[in-house]
Amino acid sequence: MNHEDLLALLGKMTLKEKVGQLVQLDGGCFGAGDMSTGPREKLGVTQEDVDVCGSVLNVLGAEEVRRIQDTYLERSRLKIPLVFMADVIYGYQTCYPIPLGLGATWDPDLIRDDYRLIAGEAVADGCMVTFSPPVDVVRDARWGRCLEMPGEDPYLSSRFATAMVEGFHGDGAPERSIACCVKHFAGYGAPEAGREYNTVDMSEWRFRNEYLAPYKAAVDAGCELVMTSFNTVEGIPATANKWLMDDVLRGEWGFDGPVITDYAAVAELIGHGVAANAREATRLAMNATVDIDMKTPCYAHELEGLVADGEVSMEQVDAACLRVLELKNKLGLFENPYRTCSPERRVEVTCSPERLASARKTCGEALVLLKNEGDVLPLDAGEDGPRVALIGPYANSRDIIGMWAIHADKSRSVTLADAFEEVLGPERFGWAKGCETLDDYSELGDFGKYVGITSGVDDGPSADELETEALALAAAADVVVMALGEHMLQSGEGGARTDITLPAPQKRLLARVRELGKPVVLVLFNGRPLALTDVLDDCDAVLEAWFPGTAGGRAVADVLFGDVNPSGRLTVSFPHNVGQEPLYYAQFSTGRPAKGSAHSGRFVSRYMDAPNEALFPFGYGLSYHTARYENLCVGTGSLRAGEKLRVSVDVTNESQVAGIEVVQLYIHDVAASRVRPMLELRDFARVELAASETRTVEFEIGEDQLRFWTPEHAWASEPGSFEVFVGPNSRDLLAGSFELI
Ligand code: NOJ
């Protein structure tokens, strides 16, 4: 259809039908199941509401999508197809590492390719729009949803946001592309005290400098929808925030697609205390140009009355409805209401060899080696290599896919035990669970039963039996690999924690194993930065595996046995202890910095009982090679607008192992009209180095990379001195300087 056709269609619609396009219901309303996070109570919608509803939440399955679409269209007067939207966050049935791991690849090009494959798998099974990418900047490890995001840095997260949107779009062919919805707009990653759904409150300059950039990158890359966040922005919930949605998103950024709420967020305006009832909530959201009401009856039941009373205009409803119709038209649904979903194509693409191989490769790049004392890794997989005991709740668990892999085919997960046995054979390898994941599973509530989590629900062996078996196995081995971590449900939505250390039974087990005096390698499964201070001395090596996805076991084995030289680098700071949170590398100096202040002793900005810095900083990660950085050159030492300043550094592989260095460039604006972070990532390069090779790595800095949100409410740079830093992480840096003139 062309635009005129859509306008003609709009002209034929009744108010009830237009409102219907603005309502999203879940599978339950269509006689199907659905899988979403959020409260599960009855909506109270009528069959008439369902008959005109515009979109469906989280129902997938080629047959189910076709069935629902057919039944719906049969009953529909104007035959406007439903659009099926779902959460496809880091994989569909083939599951990639959680986004914290994807971020740790520092490889947006690779992730773009992965998201192409993800789109192809999801679209074959009926997904037309995905609620992805989530790109909230995450700086507080207490928040459970750290796992869904690429990390703490606005620039790096923006690079991933762009890549993910481009990946979802693929080459544009319907069988390889899905429309996407950036979320959660905006600032959702900064809830006070890290507590889920809590207040977000920050100044506008901070919001713009540090939080908005990744969403903007997704919008600029052409994402079709934007999802409102649950939180407040300047005291007004995002879902009712006209400044954010209309002025910034639509006005300043030129976004003209549909804005959808997060789950039940219109009705939650009442909970926030900005609306007295559903009618007021509907008016506020509509006036903020929020088009689609996900999973509440507010729009369905209140909008017609508001129009009749002149509190919402017909023009507002028409504009919102047209945005939804345009999306459907863009997806080609008027020509083919199933798009390319087909059971046959699903068989062809689901967990295809290409996808499994890409998940394994990406996972290999996502793993971060945090410690490798005495080069205990890599382990020798050869016949003369060590006997390995693999111990821990994640030794043979398929729950290595993380909380948001709701469509993943868990039966395809390769466990560590599967992979180790393939590499070592049964003679040189054994595994044992060793302990329960948690002492008490009750903190997890009943959500687990919706996502098929079984740990903690069966009456297995006693704690003593588990430990005895594991210690015997460890005693007979040459090396112990401990597979420990958070319970899969301890992170993700609703997974806020004030204790971000490893669960107690696992720490006890690790300490007992340590007493045996064997080399201990700790492989960690977790959805947030953990505070590892209390376990670091109990192991010789630590490999951060996140929740590594379908190919996780194999990828971990690839790294542990040296087939892959780890290159993952953290995109979130790991604290010494939870009291440092929120913790991020791009700190401000303060008037009394801990180092270099005119004041001495007590009266500087520091903790009495912990360092200011991270235990493992942003950008950090080890490899099996070591590299030397030297000869930082900062071009002419001065930069003018419109020109580029060349920055170069020599990086040498000091070892006989080929590897990848992630060379990172940071800047610091020394004196500006607003305080500026001591370090800000502005560029990076993944550089492959052969054994003993030296490469000169070059960057270019332009004036546009030095801009910030000024007191004049504009993006601008200010002339003056800048420091530039290059190195392998945000701590170990070479320093230079230049002037912006
Ligand atoms: C709530 C989550 O916040 C959001 O990320 C998700 O897309 C919706 N539920 C729908 O499942």
Q: How many CB atoms lie within 10 A of CB 443?
A: 11
Q: How many residues does the structure list for the chain?
A: 741
- Tokens for 40? 């599960």
The secondary structure of residue 546, as a DSSP letter, is -
pLDDT tens, position by position, 331-390: 999 999 999 999 999 999 999 999 999 999 999 999 999 999 999 999 999 999 999 999
pLDDT tens, position by position, 691-730: 999 999 999 999 999 999 999 999 999 999 999 999 999 9
What Cα–Cα distance (Å) separates residue 123 from each residue in 83, 163, 174? 12, 18, 8
Top pLDDT among 460 and 326 is at 326
With beta carbons less than 8 A apart as the criterion, state whether 576 and 141 touch.
Answer: no
- 547 pLDDT higher than 50: yes
Closest C-alpha among 566, 475, 460 to residue 514: 475
Closest C-alpha among 552, 508, 509, 545 to residue 530: 545
Same domain, 157 and 284: yes
Q: How far is Cα 179 from Cα 238, in angstroms, rounded to an integer? A: 22
Q: Please tell me if the CB atom of residue 185 comes closer than 6 angstroms to any atom of ligand 1.
A: no
What is the pLDDT of the chain when averaged over all its residues?
96
Asked whether residue 69 is assigned to any structural domain, the reply reads yes
Alpha helices in 339-486 (DSSP H): 343-349, 353-366, 416-424, 463-475
Same domain, 335 and 430: no
Contacts of 689 (CB under 8 A, 6+ apart): 625, 627, 651, 652, 653, 658, 659, 660, 661, 695
447: confidence class by pLDDT, cuts 50, 70, 90: confident
What's the CA dihedral at 690, 692, 694, 699 to 10 degrees? 50
Nearest atom of ligand 1 to the alpha carbon of 294: 10
Q: How far is Cα 678 from Cα 585, in angstroms, rounded to an integer? A: 8
Q: What is the mean pLDDT of residues 486-501?
A: 96
- 35 pLDDT higher than 80: no
Assess whether the previous peptide bond of 599 is cis (omega < 30° from 0). Answer: no
Q: What is the CATH number of the domain that holds 709?
A: 2.60.40.10
**pLDDT of res. 452:** 65
Residue 295 region by backbone torsions, left for phi larger than 0, else alpha for psi between -120 and 50, else beta: left
Closest C-alpha among 579, 677, 433 to residue 140: 579
With beta carbons less than 8 A apart as the criterion, state whether 404 and 450 touch.
Answer: no
Query: Beta 429-432 vs 388-391: how paired, if at all?
Result: parallel
How open is the CA angle 682-686-692, to the nearest 5 degrees?
130
Same domain, 324 and 387: no
What is the phi/psi pair of residue 24, to 5°? -115, 125
682: confidence class by pLDDT, cuts 50, 70, 90: very high
Asked whether residue 599 is assigned to any structural domain, the reply reads no
Contacts of 425 (CB under 8 A, 6+ apart): none
pLDDT tens, position by position, 160-212: 999 999 999 999 999 999 999 999 999 999 999 999 999 999 999 999 999 99
- Tokens for 707? 């801009």
Q: What percentage of the chain carries pLDDT values higher than 90?
A: 92
Same domain, 341 and 401: no
- 38 pLDDT higher than 60: no
Query: Beta 129-130 vs 179-185: how paired, if at all?
Result: parallel
Using only C-alpha atoms, the chain has a radius of gyration, in whole angstroms, of: 26
Pocket test of ligand 1: the residue of 36, 260, 261 to mutate, having most ligand atoms within 8 Å of its CB, is 36
Domain C-terminal end among 508, 537, 560? 560
**Residues 377, 380, 386, 392, CA torsion sign:** positive
**pLDDT of res. 195:** 98
How open is the CA angle 189-194-195, to the nearest 5 degrees?
105
- How far is ligand 1, taken at its centre, from the CA of residue 293, in Å? 13
With beta carbons less than 8 A apart as the criterion, state whether 331 and 83 touch.
Answer: yes
Q: Please tell me if the CB atom of residue 38 comes closer than 6 angstroms to any atom of ligand 1.
A: yes
Helix H or strand E encompassing 330: helix 314-330
- How far is ligand 1, taken at its centre, from the CA of residue 368, in Å? 28
Pocket test of ligand 1: the residue of 262, 406, 447 to mutate, having most ligand atoms within 8 Å of its CB, is 262
Asked whether residue 591 is assigned to any structural domain, the reply reads no
Q: What is the mean pLDDT of residues 434-448?
A: 89
Q: How many helices (H) and strands (E) does the chain have?
A: 21, 26
- How far is ligand 1, taken at its centre, from the CA of residue 86, in Å? 9
In sequence order, what are the beta bridge partners of 651?
Answer: 629, 695
Same domain, 312 and 399: no
**pLDDT of res. 233:** 97
Residue nearest to atom 11 of ligand 1 (CA): 36
In 3-state terms, what secondary structure has residue 480? Answer: strand
Nearest atom of ligand 1 to the alpha carbon of 87: 7
- How far is ligand 1, taken at its centre, from the CA of residue 183, in Å? 9
What Cα–Cα distance (Å) separates residue 66 from each residue in 23, 59, 81, 84, 707? 20, 11, 11, 11, 50
In 3-state terms, what secondary structure has residue 648? Answer: strand
- Tokens for 498? 């004030």
Strand order in the sheet with 83-86: 259-260, 225-228, 179-185, 129-130, 83-86, 55-57, 23-26, 293-294
Taking each helix axis as running N to C, give the angle between helix 298-308 and helix 314-330, from 0 to 180 degrees, rounded to the nearest 10: 140
- Tokens for 414? 């390769």
589: confidence class by pLDDT, cuts 50, 70, 90: very high
Token look-up 């953290």 returns: 570
Same domain, 464 and 338: no
SS3 of the chain: helix, strand, coil, percent, to 5: 35, 20, 45
**pLDDT of res. 256:** 98
With beta carbons less than 8 A apart as the criterion, state whether 137 and 212 touch.
Answer: no
What Cα–Cα distance (Å) separates residue 199 from each residue in 234, 252, 437, 680, 721? 10, 25, 31, 26, 37
Asked whether residue 264 is assigned to any structural domain, the reply reads yes
Nearest atom of ligand 1 to the alpha carbon of 188: 3
With beta carbons less than 8 A apart as the criterion, state whether 505 and 439 touch.
Answer: yes
Same domain, 507 and 378: yes
Asked whether residue 703 is assigned to any structural domain, the reply reads yes
When divided into structural domains, the chain yields a total of 3
| Long-range contact pairs involving 2-9 (C-beta distance under 8 Å, separation at least 24) | 6/322, 6/325, 6/326, 6/329, 7/322, 9/78, 9/80, 9/325
Query: Can you give the pTM of this predicted structure?
Result: 0.97
Q: What is the CATH number of the domain that holds 473?
A: 3.40.50.1700
| Long-range contact pairs involving 199-202 (C-beta distance under 8 Å, separation at least 24) | 199/231, 199/232, 200/229, 200/231, 200/232, 200/233, 201/232, 201/234, 201/235
Asked whether residue 619 is assigned to any structural domain, the reply reads no
Task: Answer yes or no: 459 catalytic.
Answer: no
Q: What is the CATH number of the domain that holds 287?
A: 3.20.20.300
Q: Please tell me if the CB atom of residue 136 comes closer than 6 angstroms to any atom of ligand 1.
A: no
- How far is ligand 1, taken at its centre, from the CA of residue 263, in Å? 6
Q: Please tell me if the CB atom of residue 263 comes closer than 6 angstroms to any atom of ligand 1.
A: yes
Same domain, 338 and 378: no
Q: How far is Cα 542 from Cα 539, in angstroms, rounded to an integer? A: 7
Domain C-terminal end among 346, 378, 399? 346
pLDDT tens, position by position, 217-242: 999 999 999 999 999 999 999 999 99
- How far is ligand 1, taken at its centre, from the CA of residue 315, in Å? 29
Domain C-terminal end among 504, 535, 560? 560
Q: Please tell me if the CB atom of residue 493 comes closer than 6 angstroms to any atom of ligand 1.
A: yes
pLDDT tens, position by position, 106-137: 999 999 999 999 999 999 999 999 999 999 99
Same domain, 311 and 386: no
Q: Please tell me if the CB atom of residue 365 comes closer than 6 angstroms to any atom of ligand 1.
A: no
Query: Beta 259-260 vs 225-228: how paired, if at all?
Result: parallel
pLDDT tens, position by position, 596-615: 888 878 999 999 999 999 99
Same domain, 389 and 289: no
User: Which range of residues forms the domain containing residue 651?
Assistant: 625-740
Q: Please tell me if the CB atom of residue 36 comes closer than 6 angstroms to any atom of ligand 1.
A: yes
Q: What is the mean pLDDT of residues 583-592?
A: 96
Asked whether residue 715 is assigned to any structural domain, the reply reads yes
Asked whether residue 166 is assigned to any structural domain, the reply reads yes
Same domain, 170 and 204: yes
Token look-up 């903190």 returns: 443
- 40 pLDDT higher than 50: no
Q: Which of 34, 113, 125, 262 is catalytic?
A: 262
Q: How far is Cα 700 from Cα 234, in angstroms, rounded to an integer? A: 37
Residue 444 region by backbone torsions, left for phi larger than 0, else alpha for psi between -120 and 50, else beta: alpha
Q: How many CB atoms lie within 10 A of CB 642?
A: 8
Type of residue found at 672: A
In sequence order, what are the beta bridge partners of 236?
Answer: 233
**Residues 557, 561, 563, 566, CA torsion sign:** positive
- How far is ligand 1, taken at its centre, from the CA of residue 229, in Å? 9
Same domain, 489 and 370: yes
